[in-house]
Amino acid sequence: MKTAVGWAFVAAAMLDAPVARAAAAPAPHGPPTLAEQATADVVPDVPRHGSGAIAFGGHAALRFAEDRIAGISNPDWASVLRVAGFAAARPHPRLLLDAAVAHDRPTDDLTVESARVLFRARPALWAHAGVLPLPLGRANLERDAPRGEFAERSLVATEMIGVPSSQLGAGVRGFSNLRTGSVLSWELDLVTGYDDGLVDDSPDGTRIPRGRSGGGDNNGLPALAGRVALAPRHNTELGLAAIAGPYNRTTVDGVRVDRSRGMSLVVADGRSSFAGFGLAGEAAIAWVDVAETLDGVFAERQWGGSAEVWRVLLDPAWRSWPRAAVSAAIRADAVDFDRAIPGDSRSRLAASLNLRVRPLGVIRGGWHYEIRRDRFDNPQPAAGASLVLASYF
């Protein structure tokens, strides 16, 4: 039933996509002010309906693919990669309300990705509370399916950070201009944190995404999450983010069952351009304090890295189609789920060819080859080719 509803929603989204329109952009008047940069970063300018005080919209992606693991085909050749919708209201110039829900393939469920109240305390300082997207790199802050060059997120994003990941909390976000002309942005939040699902609900070993906790806190103690990013020029950004806090329950029915155990995750990401090529990368390191009885079965240290390169090949794609462009990209990424043993890892090489129709959507052809290793270091090859249709609606 859930799959049928998802397909119906995506079909309606694709049919409705041509009527979507981008939010009105201000007339050019020179470089944007810091307040304009701050507002644009907090409230991304994506295709939407409505204007003024109320706006709404969404995006969807369909995936058609042939996937093979150890030579065996996956029968799930057609799937809904992502369906998301959002609504925003501005009852006052300083106040913004927004909400977003999505059915995403990594979570395989309908989740609330954002339900925030944002207050602009100063031109470049925002306070927010509610269900917040964790500031763990651009991959978790920019989740729109038509964005980027790949249909699938990197292994670092999906297998370590757990993108998409949102949690209940409150915090502040600020921006400042440096003397060098760069823009420094920062965010600091108190959130519910990950829960003990990263161990208790992880039959394959420690998996941080299994501890995604969006609506509650199982131990009564918050986690601290934050990010600092430097943008020295347009389309260039370097960011460093982290989250740390307890994840386990210490009491059950009033009986103390364990001491408080913490986890921490550090994420570095960056993007830039050079000689006509776009460059992006991200890396993550995680530490998890597991019970002594689980040593050797559940990992305490993990790491992962990703690097991608892309280039626009044709812009416009055809003279009669000036809003279309063709680009190609390649990405290499790897994650090691347990630094203490040779196995329990994944490494992947992926390529993508994109026909982008600005600003509404993209058609992506993709290919990937992957090596998966179990805890005994036995390799298992996987490969696939895909066609993805992604569009705003």
CA–CA dist 387, 368 (Å, integer): 12
Please give the pLDDT value at position 120: 92
Per-residue CA distances from 290 to 114, 299, 301, 373, 376 (Å): 30, 8, 10, 22, 20
The pLDDT averaged over each successive group of 10 residues in the chain (393 residues) is: 39 38 40 63 76 87 94 88 93 91 86 93 92 94 90 94 93 91 93 92 92 76 95 91 93 85 96 95 97 89 98 90 94 97 96 93 96 95 96 93
- Nearest CA to 146 out of 61, 62, 78, 85 is that of 61
The domain limits of the chain are: 2-25+33-392
CA–CA dist 86, 115 (Å, integer): 10
Please give the pLDDT value at position 19: 36
Please give the pLDDT value at position 319: 84
Element (H, E) at 25: none
DSSP letter string, 129-173: EEEEE--SSHHHH---TTSSS-SSPPHIIIIII-SS-EEEEEEEE
Count CA atoms within 13 Å of residue 140 on its CB side. Answer: 33
CA–CA dist 92, 83 (Å, integer): 30
Please give the pLDDT value at position 174: 93
Q: Show the CA angle centred on residue 130, arms to residues 125 and 135, nearest 5°.
A: 60
Please give the pLDDT value at position 6: 42
Q: Is-cis flag, bond preceding 342, omega within 30? A: no
pLDDT digits (tens, 9 = 90+) for 173-207: 999 988 888 899 999 999 999 999 999 899 999 99
CA–CA dist 237, 15 (Å, integer): 35
The dotted CATH code for 2-25+33-392 is: 2.40.160.10
Where helices occur in the chain by DSSP H, the ranges are 2-16, 34-42, 138-141, 155, 197-200
Tokens of 208: 């941080």
pLDDT digits (tens, 9 = 90+) for 146-180: 988 999 999 999 999 999 999 999 999 999 988 88
